[in-house]
Amino acid sequence: MQLWRRLLVLFSLAMLMALADKAHAGKFEFRVTGVKRSDVLNIRERVDDQATISQKKILGQIPANSGGVYGSGATLRVGSSRWYEIRYKNVRGWVNGRYLQPVSSDLGSELESNLFCGGTEPFWALKVERNTAELTRPDKPPVRYTVAIREPFQGRKDALALRLVSETGPAISALVQHKEWCSDGMSDLEYAFEVRVIGLANGDVPLHGCCSLLR
């Protein structure tokens, strides 16, 4: 009888963990669809021309109907297809979006991920990893920050407010929001997240750009 109780407890815990994972799953976690059971979905190193895609290096393969495919939010239109930058296990690369089905139609825990944001005019980049961030611009030294506040907008999963504090300058704020699609202004890539950075030193104008998820 005691063994059955233990098994019941273990089963209950497994179910709770599965429900928690499902609750955090979002529209940039995918399952492979439309691929024959005996076939695989190739992960390409890069894609830029419809005519040469089949010649691009294959970094890995995803079995049919597999889950656990995580998108960064970066995409590229090639011909009539949209290709997604993804991670599957330890492999990162590009796959054809026609074979990806989002686990959810809503955002889940995506904005809890590390972020890489950037833009042009002037060129700039903001990398947010856990509790630290770094802002780089070609005409200024890099500035490191501590993430003092990281909170979603009230009642929303698609927008995030960041307050970044530096020991060498003023604190800045970054407002990240889900958007389909954001252009970085310097490539053919399109991103699922838009960002505005305000409060820069010396009266510098706010920065506007796009973000991808570092997953």
Domain count, the chain: 2
- DSSP-assigned letters across all residues of 39-61: -EEEEES----GGGGGGSPEEEE
Structure-token match 């002037």, residue found: 122
What pLDDT does residue 155 have? Answer: 85
Whether the CB-CB separation of 193 and 210 falls below 8 Å is answered with yes
CB environment 153-182: b (16+ within 10 A), e (fewer): eeeeebbbebbbebeeeeebebebbbbebb
What pLDDT does residue 46 have? Answer: 86
Q: Do 88 and 145 share a domain, yes or no? A: no
Q: Do 137 and 94 share a domain, yes or no? A: no
Q: Do 91 and 146 share a domain, yes or no? A: no
What pLDDT does residue 14 have? Answer: 41
Q: Do 69 and 127 share a domain, yes or no? A: no
Q: Do 153 and 193 share a domain, yes or no? A: yes
| Domain span holding position 183 | 110-214
pLDDT digits (tens, 9 = 90+) for 28-64: 999 999 999 999 999 999 888 777 888 899 999 999 9
Phi, psi of 97 (to 5 degrees): -65, -15
What pLDDT does residue 211 have? Answer: 97
Q: Do 28 and 68 share a domain, yes or no? A: yes
What pTM did the predictor assign?
Answer: 0.83
What pLDDT does residue 2 have? Answer: 54
Residues 6+ apart with CB under 8 A from 68: 29, 88, 89
User: What is the length of the chain?
Assistant: 215
Among 78, 102, 126, give the residue marking a domain's end.
Answer: 102
What element of type H or E holds 12?
helix 2-24
Instruction: Tally the C-alpha atoms within 13 A of residue 29's C-alpha that lie toward its C-beta.
Output: 19
Q: Do 114 and 98 share a domain, yes or no? A: no
**Pick from 15, 129, 116, 134: nearest CA to 74:** 116
Q: Do 116 and 174 share a domain, yes or no? A: yes
Q: Do 88 and 11 share a domain, yes or no? A: yes
Tell me the β-bridge partners of 194: 177, 210
Whether the CB-CB separation of 59 and 67 falls below 8 Å is answered with no
**Pick from 74, 161, 155, 67: nearest CA to 111:** 161
d(CA 29, CA 19): 15
**pLDDT-flagged residues of the chain (< 50):** 1, 4, 7-23
Q: Do 203 and 139 share a domain, yes or no? A: yes
Among 69, 102, 135, give the residue marking a domain's end.
Answer: 102
Q: Do 123 and 76 share a domain, yes or no? A: no
Q: Do 182 and 116 share a domain, yes or no? A: yes
